[in-house]
Structure 1
Amino acid sequence: MFAVVRTGGKQYRVAAGDKIAVEKLAGEAGDTVTLGDVLLAGEGDNVADASKVTVSAEIIAQAKSEKVVVFKKRRRHNYRRKAGHRQQMTLLRITDVGEGKKAAPKKEAAAKKEDAPKAEAKKAPAKKAAPKADAAEKKAPAKKAPAKKAAPKKTEAKK
């Protein structure tokens, strides 16, 4: 199965196992990302419903592309400027192109948001106990660094 996905303002035709270089994406090598903007999907001559297709990829590396040299010149005016630029890019390996439920992750995210206040409530008492321990540490006298001596003033030589 293949899909056409849009990322970084460009479109890519991908299939499982393909390796592509795209504009920089957040994440480190080994992380899995989901390319959500699927424009077209199909298998052979058949076109599938793109809204039901998900594309998942693994980040191979974060790298820089080839250097682009920018050279400006005005003839007969002794004006030359040379600069270079290397664009940040992410190398991806497409792991899966297939029918997936896009609504399911949203429900899981909503469930996690509901559980988050409960988890924060459990963590709150532990935070209250920590300042008491800090107060005990503050009672110990703090050592002060010895004062530095002022440098002797130099007098100006008379001529």
Structure 2
Amino acid sequence: MADYAVVELGGRQYRVSPGDLITVERIAANVGDEVPVERVLMVRQGERTIVGRPTVEGARATARVVEHGRGRKVLVFKYKPKVNYRRRRGHRQPFTRLEIRSIEGPAT
């Protein structure tokens, strides 16, 4: 069992420990499903740090889907002076919240 790891999900990197809650881009999984995280970039086990090139061979993390949702609304407003051009548009980014269950380091 590792102390913490750096994992990549959806093109972003997260420093995670067992029990952490992280918010990532929406993934196609149901609430309660176990999701394997294969792209582990770094693992810290006690006094030992293992850095991957680019990933650590044999290391993996397991996460559980806690919820799906949508973020806060971001308003986009376009405006051109003197020509009566105004456009207002809103956007809410979908997300998935994950709970990190376990991190396994490489077997050495």
- TM-score class normalised by the smaller sequence: 0.7 to 0.9
SS of residue matched to 1:51: coil
Matching residue within 28, 36, 39 for 2:38:
36
- The question of 1:76 aligning with 2:98 is answered no
Q: Whose strand fraction is larger, Structure 1's or Structure 2's?
A: 2
Seen in structure 2, the aligned counterparts of structure 1 residues 79 and 29 have a Cα distance that, compared at 3 Å, is same
SS state at 2:57 partner: helix
Task: String of CA shifts for 1:105-151, please: whole Å, max 9, x gaps.
Answer: xxxxxxxxxxxxxxxxxxxxxxxxxxxxxxxxxxxxxxxxxxxxxxx
Alpha-carbon shift at residue 45 of structure 1 (Å):
5.5
Unaligned runs of 5+ in 2: none
TM-score (normalised: structure 2): 0.84
Question: Are 2:103 and 1:97 equivalent residues in the alignment?
Answer: yes
Unaligned runs of at least 5 residues, structure 1: 102-159
CA distance in 2, matches of 1:69, 1:43: 44
Are the counterparts in 1 of residues 43 and 105 from structure 2 also a CA contact under 8 Å? no
Match 2:25 to one of 23, 26, 44: 23
How many pairs are equivalent? Answer: 101
Larger radius of gyration: 1
Q: Does 1:7 align with 2:9?
A: yes
Aligned: 1:66 with 2:72: yes
Of Structure 1 and Structure 2, the greater helix share is in 1
1:85 aligns with 2:91: yes
Once superposed, which parts of structure 1, at least 4 consecutive aligned residues long, lie more than 2 Å away?
Answer: 43-46
Letter in 2 for 1:31: D
Q: Deviations over 1:67-88 (max 9, x none)?
A: 1211111122211111011111
Q: Given the alignment, which residue of 40, 49, 58 partners 1:52?
A: 58
Contact 2:44/2:50 (CA < 8 Å) preserved in 1? yes
The CA RMSD measured in Å over matched residues stands at 1.7
Q: 1:45 to 1:84 in 2, by over 3 A?
A: farther
TM-score with structure 1 setting the length: 0.59
Q: Distance in 2 between matches of 1:26 and 1:64?
A: 14
State the alpha-carbon separation in 2 of the partners of residues 38 and 21 from structure 1: 17
